[in-house]
Amino acid sequence: MTKVICFANNKGGSGKSTTCASIAYAFATAGKRVLLIDGDMQLNLTLSYFSEDKALEIASGDKNLYMAIKEQKPLTDYIYQTDYEGVDIIPSSTLMSSVEFELFSKWQREFILRKMLKPVIESAVYDYVLIDAPPTLGCWVMNILCASDRIVLPVEASPWGLFGLANMFEFIGQVQELSPTLELLGVAVTKVDARKNYFKQTMETLRETEGIRVFDSVIHLDSSVEWAQDNSKPVGSYKKSSRRALEYKALADEILEIY
Ligand SMILES: Nc1ncnc2c1ncn2[C@@H]1O[C@H](COP(=O)(O)OP(=O)(O)O)[C@@H](O)[C@H]1O
Ligand SMILES: [Mg+2]
């Protein structure tokens, strides 16, 4: 059975795209077959696997996520291979800026992505579909959540990282009324600055929050993440034994253990 996990949080810069790209690579190195879906017009997930030129070429062509939604076609026709065995991707487009408009007039508009994803799941080619969500809480993110079985919520270890989480939990609750099998898999704490002890407070606050799992593996801030992104590579593949690569591997192992 193909499992669908999305990486969502309406706070921008919380590490969704970095975590989604890095977990995909770590899953693939653990022998899993992964399909990535870039749900954000900022193309950050696409840029983690493709050069800027290639990402922009795909974004302006007719084989990307936006065109699939516009045509309501099965997503099986929109898949690209990456340079990494076990990781395929459906790239995004800058035109995703008007996705809310596209969805507005469609029948059962919260379930468009779920329907388009069905042939991918039925093909049983992938162990996991990982979806990178944009930092919004509209109909499109509702589509992403309705198409997912589980949510990973990346949270930046900062005061503003925690602010607004209540809105996210409320939103998840609303989507669960439409899609009762959807569950929050866990909160992943990212961008931890080892020099600041605010991190401890973040962890305590999160662990005191009832009904949520906080992953033990946290991701520290490090320029190797930006270097990997500058080279269009997922974190784990850029410097295989870097601390960040190992942290993402540990987080991936934790996720694989429970789901
Ligand atoms: N562990 C990290 N160390 C350093 N920079 C990071 C780390 N994780 C993410 N970043 C940077 O933080 C910014 C936001 O991360 P991103 O994954 O794009 O978040 P989101 O998708 O939630 O907006 C990016 O510029 C990224 O390079
Ligand atoms: Mg992002």
Q: Which residue, judged by its Cα, is nearest atom 14 of ligand 1?
A: 13
Domain assignment of residue 219, yes or no: yes
* Residue 181 belongs to a domain: yes
CA 37 / ligand 2 centre spacing (Å): 12
Residue with tokens 């992104």: 229
CA of 14 to the centre of ligand 1 (A): 6
CA–CA dist 149, 147 (Å, integer): 7
Q: Identify which of 16, 17, 18 to mutate to test ligand 1's pocket (most ligand atoms within 8 A of the CB).
A: 18
Residue 218 CA to its chain's centroid (Å): 16
**Residue 199 domain boundaries:** 3-248
Is there a domain that residue 62 lies in? yes
Q: What is the pLDDT along the chain (259 residues), one digit of tens a residue?
A: 999 999 999 999 999 999 999 999 999 999 999 999 999 999 999 999 999 999 999 999 999 999 999 999 999 999 999 999 999 999 999 999 999 999 999 999 999 999 999 999 999 999 999 999 999 999 999 999 999 999 999 999 888 888 889 899 999 999 999 999 999 999 999 999 988 888 888 899 999 998 899 999 999 999 999 999 999 999 988 888 889 999 999 999 999 999 9
Ligand 1, residues at Cβ distance < 6 Å: 12-18, 44, 135, 190-191, 219, 221-222, 225-226, 229, 244
Q: What is the pLDDT of residues 213-243, one digit of tens each?
A: 999 999 999 999 999 999 999 998 888 888 9
Question: Distance (Å, rounded) from C-alpha 153 to C-alpha 14?
Answer: 9
* Residue 45 in domain: yes
**pLDDT (0 to 100) of residue 242:** 86
Helices (H), the chain: 16-29, 44-47, 52-59, 65-71, 99-104, 112-123, 139-146, 159-162, 165-178, 198-208, 223-230, 235-238, 243-258
The answer to whether residue 25 sits within a structural domain is yes
Nearest Cα to 36, choosing from 155, 128, 150?
Answer: 128
Instruction: Report pLDDT for 9.
Output: 97
Q: Output the domain CATH number for residue 162.
A: 3.40.50.300
The full DSSP string for 104-139 is HTSTTGGGHHHHHHHHHHHHT--SEEEEEPPS--SH
- Tokens found for residue 116: 């388009």
Task: Name the residue with the closest Cα to ligand 1, atom 1.
Answer: 221
Question: For residue 39, which ligand has an atom nearest its CA?
Answer: 2
pLDDT of residue 159: 82
Our measurement of the distance from residue 188's CA atom to the centroid of its chain's CA atoms, rounded to an integer in Å, reads 12
Number of folded domains that form the chain: 1
| Residue 119 domain-assigned (yes or no) | yes
Residue 16 CA to ligand 1 center (angstroms) comes to 8
Residue 257 belongs to some domain of the structure? no
| pLDDT for res 189 | 96
Residue 218 lies in a domain: yes
